[in-house]
Structure formats: structure tokens, C-alpha cells
């Protein structure tokens, strides 16, 4: 159904979509290529929310080149929208442009609108195909797909560990287990996330800023803290507003309502959300749901073994992003604090998604077996 030229054009559209990696949230990253007579006559990718979608950028690009789009094929990595959101429907713009054929990589994952954009194009007599390089397209927007289909962000837990699984010495020292290249790579994963989450133990030991520094990004992810008793020091670096451009307040999830502490944190610009579980800790599942409601597509976790373990236990971790350094820490804190198992059948199961070397370290990506919407 799809030719080699179709594949090449969609690959280009996916590469364009990836240029919006740090840009488009909470919208998906989308690329569009217009081809006529075997030539690219326009291309574009989705801009920050409220600005042009990929199709509009590509049509504007073609207009700037002075090319007539009628009869062209449009390759888009996601079904063109058919509804008025913050911008007018892209399907209508494609119809008006006179394109003869539209190839989409995937349908819109939002069940409320899925298929309607493609139908609008078909109704206008356009030859519409869908499903080219769909897996790649879904992967590029794994968080958006997750939020649209499950109402939950895609939760990626990042861990830097020694070959024997150590993530910190018993005195809390963990900087640095992995090398510079791995740490820089970790910042690229931070940058693509809508939010970065940590626990009070990590704030106490490391006082992280939780900002993106090693890669250039037009926006900083929102910062989120799990802190049952609101013990975060008011001078914690993650509460600082001067370490980047933060449009959104730091979210602090806690298990007690302590009006004075809450007021002090709010005065620092944080938002406090009380979500207790039966053990007096934060109810993690509800926290993840709340982040989904707030438009978080990809949640990047950089916490210690306690919070990491709880996220695994509660079935909240979709993906593990593990950097393994070729050194041994011996008797140290592990990656996940989990209770002993009585049967191997009960072991939380993942499958390998990607394995590669980054500098002197290994990067392993594993996904929870039931989670993968890609
Ligand atoms: N190598 C790495 O990749 C890496 C990354 C980050 C941190 N670290 C290291 O990890 C160490 C800190 O580990 P940690 O385990 O103490 O810190 P953590 O996992 O960041 O935070 C744990 C704390 O979160 C709170 N919490 C609230 N609700 C919870 C829930 N439902 N489940 C679990 N925890 C909940 C608990 O505090 P309450 O008891 O107050 O409820 C708990 O003590 C530091 O030494 C740091 O250097 C290593």
C-alpha cells in the first residue's frame, strides 16, 4: 500500500516532528511534508501550544516558496485535527489547499475525535491512507498517546546505577556514579518531559535543581515533589524560581494538611496538594492521575530507591531508563525498594526496548509489559 517514496517522505515528516521534541507540550509533536512531482514543496512541525500545527507550517512554507500545493501529497505523522481548539482545524486547511492525497502515520489517539479528521478529508474527495510508520509515530508521542488513551502520563523512571545495582552509598552520596555523557543524555530526557518528579529523600541528600541544563531547551519542565509531611526546606534549590524560566509553580504532593507550612511554600511560589494514603504517605496513583488531568504527557522521575520502589509497587512506572556504570558499589542503596517475593511469578516484569552505550556507560530502556501503548 505504501511505496519507498512514501516511506522516505514519512521518515522526513517524523524527523521534522522530532524537532518539536522540547516545544509542543501538552500538544503532540507532529511533522508534515508536502510532496509534488517527487519534490518537497513545503514542510513544517508543530509549534508551541496555541501556535501553528505542522500542516499549517508546511502550507505556509509552500506559499513562501511560491509553489501551488494543489494535487500534492501531504505526509503527516498524526491525523490532522478536525476541531477548533486553540487553532482552527488543519483538515479544513488541507482541503482548501487542494492536496490530492494525505498519508497519516496514525489516527488521533483521543477517542473523542479519532478518525474524524481523516473522514473530513475523505468527504472532500481526498485519497486518504493511514498507518505508515505508525509504531515510530506512536513512540514519538508516547506521553500524549498515554494521556489520551488512559488519562495518565507516561511515567519514565530514570536511574543511574553501578553494575551491581547501587544508586547511592549509605551516607547518601550518589554524585556521580555515571559519566558526563550519560548525565548529559539524562538531561535530554528531562527536557522532553512535561514534568520532573522527585522525593523528599533526594531533596534532603542532593538538593537537586531539577532543571534542564546540559541541552538547550525553550522551556523548563514543571517540577514535582513527593513530600508526605511538607518537610522540604524553604531554601531547597528545586523551589528556586531564578534557575530558569518557570511558567508553572512547583507542585508539592503531601499527606497532611499543615496550613502554616502550606502558606510558607505557597509564598515561595509552590502549589501544595494533599493526597494521603492509608499509610500516611502520598497516594501515588491519584497523584499520577492528577498530573494527567493537568496535561502532563511524559513524567520523568529522578528519585531514590524508596519512591522508585513505591511507584513500581503501585503499578505507576511504565518505563525504566537505567544508566549502568561499569563499577561496583558493593553494599549500597539499590534501585527499587521492594518487599521480598515468595514466587518469581510475582516479579514485576518489563521487556527491553532499547540498549546502547553512552560514553563509558550502558543505557537500558525497559517497558512494563502491560503498559506499552506504542
Ligand atoms: N542514582 C540515582 O539515579 C539517584 C537518583 C535520585 C536519588 N538518588 C539517591 O537516593 C537517595 C535518596 O533516596 P530516598 O529513597 O531516601 O529518597 P526518595 O525516594 O527521593 O524519597 C523518599 C521519600 O519519599 C517520601 N514518600 C512520600 N510518599 C511516598 C510513597 N507513597 N512511597 C514512597 N515514598 C514516599 C517518603 O518520605 P516520608 O517518609 O516523609 O513519607 C520517602 O522517605 C539519595 O542518596 C540520592 O542521592 C539516586
- Residue 229 Cβ inside 6 Å of ligand 1? The answer reads yes
Asked, for residue 212, whether it belongs to a domain, the answer is yes
- 112 plus 219 within the same structural domain: no
- 119 plus 227 within the same structural domain: no
Given 43, 55, 107, 319, the catalytic residue:
55
Main-chain phi, psi angles of 349, to 5 degrees: -110, 135
Q: Could you give the percent of the chain with pLDDT greater than 90?
A: 90
- C-alpha to C-alpha distance for 239 and 187, rounded to whole angstroms: 19
Is residue 107 annotated as part of the catalytic site, yes or no? no
52 CA from centroid of ligand 1 (Å): 41
- 176 plus 313 within the same structural domain: yes
- Residue 20: CATH number of its domain: 3.40.140.10
- Residue 163: CATH number of its domain: 3.40.430.10
When the pLDDT of each residue in the chain is averaged and rounded to a whole number, the result is 94
- Residue 334 Cβ inside 6 Å of ligand 1? The answer reads no
Instruction: Express each pLDDT in 198-229 by its tens digit.
Output: 999 999 999 999 999 999 998 999 999 999 99
Q: Is 36 annotated as a binding residue?
A: no
Q: Is 307 annotated as a binding residue?
A: yes
Angle subtended at Cα 369 by Cα 365 and Cα 373, rounded to the nearest 5 degrees:
85
- 178 plus 295 within the same structural domain: yes
Position 113 scores a pLDDT of: 84
311 CA from centroid of ligand 1 (Å): 11
Averaged pLDDT for residues 167-192:
95
- 16 plus 119 within the same structural domain: yes
- State CA 280 to chain mean position distance: 29
- 219 plus 298 within the same structural domain: yes
Instruction: Express each pLDDT in 8-19 by its tens digit.
Output: 999 999 999 999
**Ligand 1 nearest atom to the CA of residue 203, by list position:** 20
- 219 plus 132 within the same structural domain: no
332 CA from centroid of ligand 1 (Å): 14
Q: Three-state SS string across 21-83, please?
A: CCCCCCCCCCEEEEEECCEEEEEEECCCCCCCCHHHHHHHHHHHCCCCCCCCEEEECCCCCCC
- C-alpha to C-alpha distance for 175 and 172, rounded to whole angstroms: 9
- For ligand 1, atom 20, the nearest C-alpha belongs to 199
- C-alpha to C-alpha distance for 40 and 60, rounded to whole angstroms: 13
Cell numbers representing residue 192 in the block: 522532553
**pLDDT confidence of 64, banded at 50, 70, 90?**
very high
Residues 39/67, Cβ–Cβ less than 8 Å: no
Q: Could you give the percent of the chain with pLDDT greater than 70?
A: 97
199 CA from centroid of ligand 1 (Å): 5
- How many folded domains does the chain comprise? 2
Helices (H) and strands (E) in the chain, counts: 11, 14
- Residue 282 Cβ inside 6 Å of ligand 1? The answer reads yes
pTM, full prediction? 0.95
Cell numbers representing residue 242 in the block: 531564578
Averaged pLDDT for residues 303-323:
97
**pLDDT confidence of 243, banded at 50, 70, 90?**
low
- Residue 228 Cβ inside 6 Å of ligand 1? The answer reads yes
- The mean-pLDDT minimum among 103-107, 354-358, 369-373 falls in 369-373
- 98 plus 155 within the same structural domain: no
- 74 plus 119 within the same structural domain: yes
- Residue 281 Cβ inside 6 Å of ligand 1? The answer reads yes
Structural domain harbouring 70 = 4-142
- 38 plus 138 within the same structural domain: yes
Asked, for residue 49, whether it belongs to a domain, the answer is yes
- 216 plus 286 within the same structural domain: yes
Amino acid at each position: 500500500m505504501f511505496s519507498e517514496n512514501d516511506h522516505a517522505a514519512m521518515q522526513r515528516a517524523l524527523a521534522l516532528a522530532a524537532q518539536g521534541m522540547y516545544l509542543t507540550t501538552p500538544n503532540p509533536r507532529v511533522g508534515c511534508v508536502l510532496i509534488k512531482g517527487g519534490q518537497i514543496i513545503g514542510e513544517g512541525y508543530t509549534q508551541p501550544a496555541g501556535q501553528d500545527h505542522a500542516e499549517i507550517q508546511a502550507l505556509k512554507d509552500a506559499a513562501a516558496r511560491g509553489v501551488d500545493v494543489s494535487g500534492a501529497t501531504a505526509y503527516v505523522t498524526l491525523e490532522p485535527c478536525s476541531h477548533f481548539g486553540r487553532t482552527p482545524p488543519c483538515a479544513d486547511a488541507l482541503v482548501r489547499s487542494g492536496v490530492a492525497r494525505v498519508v497519516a502515520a496514525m489516527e488521533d489517539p483521543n477517542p473523542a475525535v479519532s478518525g474524524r479528521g481523516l473522514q473530513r478529508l475523505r468527504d472532500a474527495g481526498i485519497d486518504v491512507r493511514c498507518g505508515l510508520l505508525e509504531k515510530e509515530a506512536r513512540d514519538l508521542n508516547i506521553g500524549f498517546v498515554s494521556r489520551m488513551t488512559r488519562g495518565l502520563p507516561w511515567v519514565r523512571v530514570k536511574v543511574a546505577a553501578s553494575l551491581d545495582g547501587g544508586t547511592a552509598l549509605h551516607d547518601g552520596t550518589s554524585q556521580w556514579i555515571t559519566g558526563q555523557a550519560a548525565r548529559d543524555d539524562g538531561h535530554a530526557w528531562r527536557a522532553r518531559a512535561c514534568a520532573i518528579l522527585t522525593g523528599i529523600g533526594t531533596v534532603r541528600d542532593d538538593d537537586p535543581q531539577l532543571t534542564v541544563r546540559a541541552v538547550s531547551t525553550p522551556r523548563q519542565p514543571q517540577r514535582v515533589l513527593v513530600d508526605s509531611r511538607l518537610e522540604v526546606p524553604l531554601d531547597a534549590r528545586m523551589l528556586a524560581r531564578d534557575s530558569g524560566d518557570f511558567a508553572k509553580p512547583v507542585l508539592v504532593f503531601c499527606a497532611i494538611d499543615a496550613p502554616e507550612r502550606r502558606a510558607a511554600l505557597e509564598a515561595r511560589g509552590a502549589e501544595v496538594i494533599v493526597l494521603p494514603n492509608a499509610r500516611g504517605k502520598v497516594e501515588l496513583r491519584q497523584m499520577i492521575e492528577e498530573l494527567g488531568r493537568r496535561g502532563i504527557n511524559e513524567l520523568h522521575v529522578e528519585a531514590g530507591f524508596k519512591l522508585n520502589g513505591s511507584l513500581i509497587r503501585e503499578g505507576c512506572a511504565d518505563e525504566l531508563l537505567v544508566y549502568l556504570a561499569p563499577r561496583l558499589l558493593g553494599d549500597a542503596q539499590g534501585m527499587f525498594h521492594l518487599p521480598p517475593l515468595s514466587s518469581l511469578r510475582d516479579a514485576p516484569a518489563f521487556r527491553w526496548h532499547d540498549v546502547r552505550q553512552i560514553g563509558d556507560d550502558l543505557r537500558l530502556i525497559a517497558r512494563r509489559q502491560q503498559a506499552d501503548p506504542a
